[in-house]
Structure formats: structure tokens, C-alpha cells
Amino acid sequence: MKCEICSKKAMNEYCKLHERAKENIIGKYNLWKTALNISWKEYLNEITKNPYTGSSAKELAEHLKQGEQEH
């Protein structure tokens, strides 16, 4: 199976790095929600433009945003 983002070897939908980024993104949402009272979509937008967000986390956030739009 290949990672949906970078086409590297993956166990499920993402490679190791993007899987870890996904865990971080999901894990941090509650903190953002408490701090700023924002929706999931707004949160993804915020972390995409944040300079401290790591490159893999940004790629995943973009991918999730696209997924949301398609739905």
C-alpha cells in the first residue's frame, strides 16, 4: 500500500511520517478548540498557515482540507 500523500510505503492510508503527523493534528485539536473556540475546518486552516507547523503536518492538513471540500 502507498501513502496517499507521498506515495511511500504505507501500512494503511499514510506512511509512517504522515501517520504520526495525523496523530499530532488530531491530538492537538482539543487544545486549539479550548483556546480559540474554533471549528475543525478553521483549525486546519490555522495550522496550514502557521510557520511552526512541520512540513509533513502541513501536507496532511492540506490533504485533510481537500478531503473535507470533496465531501
Contact positions vs another protein (CB under 8 A): 8-9, 16-17, 20-21, 24-25, 27-28, 31-32, 34-36, 47, 50, 52-57
- Least gap, CB of 7 to another protein (angstroms): 9
Closest CA relative to residue 48, chosen from 36, 62, 28: 62
- Least gap, CB of 45 to another protein (angstroms): 13
Residue ranges of alpha helices (H) inside 1-71 are 16-36, 40-49, 55-70
- Least gap, CB of 51 to another protein (angstroms): 8
Q: What span, in angstroms and rounded, lies between the C-alpha atoms of 36 and 47?
A: 13
